[in-house]
């Protein structure tokens, strides 16, 4: 099941980015919901919020290490389903953005709420997973 989750997220992420590349012009907003949501193709050469620009090798190395660590965490039978699901989502998002960095040297971003930096589906999945992980850590009942 974990494999299907990861494959599905990576597929949707890459498909949405292919759509953005095909139908959007770089840095040209296309309004979907006036004054709220645009589609704006951006080449993100940095990390979150565009920090650490042009550090592709570093991001590839960090992503690869994170993917390997998550893989071993997913194999841990003592982890809860929510923890495994969250790790799967993070791994899938990391793979999606890693594919971009390896193919293009940057990440394709296109979801633009105008009050937040432009992002993509993989970024959304990673963010949701981070909240799920926080929930698990804060509210999990620890057995002594």
Q: Which of 13, 100, 109, 112 is catalytic?
A: 109
What is the tens place of the pLDDT at every residue in 73-127? 888 888 889 999 999 999 999 999 999 999 999 999 999 999 999 999 999 999 9
What is the tens place of the pLDDT at every residue in 3-46? 999 999 999 999 999 999 999 999 999 999 999 999 999 999 87
74 within 8 A of 87, measured Cβ to Cβ: yes
**74 C-beta neighbours (distance < 10 Å), count:** 17
6 within 8 A of 85, measured Cβ to Cβ: no
Q: Which of 13, 100, 112, 123 is catalytic?
A: 123
Q: Which of 119, 77, 130, 70 is nearest to 95 (CA)?
A: 70
This prediction's pTM: 0.87
Instruction: Respond yes or no: is residue 109 known to be catalytic.
Output: yes
Half-sphere exposure of 73 toward its Cβ, with a 13 Å CA cutoff? Answer: 18
Q: What is the pLDDT of residue 52?
A: 64
Question: Rounded to an integer, what distance in angstroms lies between the CA atom of residue 87 and that of residue 5?
Answer: 11
Q: What is the pLDDT of residue 49?
A: 60
Instruction: Respond yes or no: is residue 123 known to be catalytic.
Output: yes
């Amino acid at each position: 099941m974990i494999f299907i989750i990861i494959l599905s997220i990576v597929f949707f992420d890459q498909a949405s980015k292919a759509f953005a590349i095909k139908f959007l012009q770089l840095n040209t907003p296309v309004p979907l919901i006036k004054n709220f949501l645009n589609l704006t193709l951006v080449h993100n050469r940095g990390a979150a919020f565009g920090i650490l620009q042009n550090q592709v090798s570093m991001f590839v190395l960090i992503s690869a290490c994170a993917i390997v660590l998550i893989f071993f965490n997913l194999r841990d039978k003592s982890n809860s389903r929510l923890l495994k699901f969250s790790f799967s989502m993070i791994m899938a998002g990391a793979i999606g953005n890693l594919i971009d960095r390896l193919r293009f040297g940057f990440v394709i971003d296109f979801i633009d709420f105008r009050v937040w930096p432009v992002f993509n589906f993989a970024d959304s999945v990673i963010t949701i997973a981070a909240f799920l992980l926080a929930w698990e850590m804060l509210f999990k009942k620890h057995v002594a």
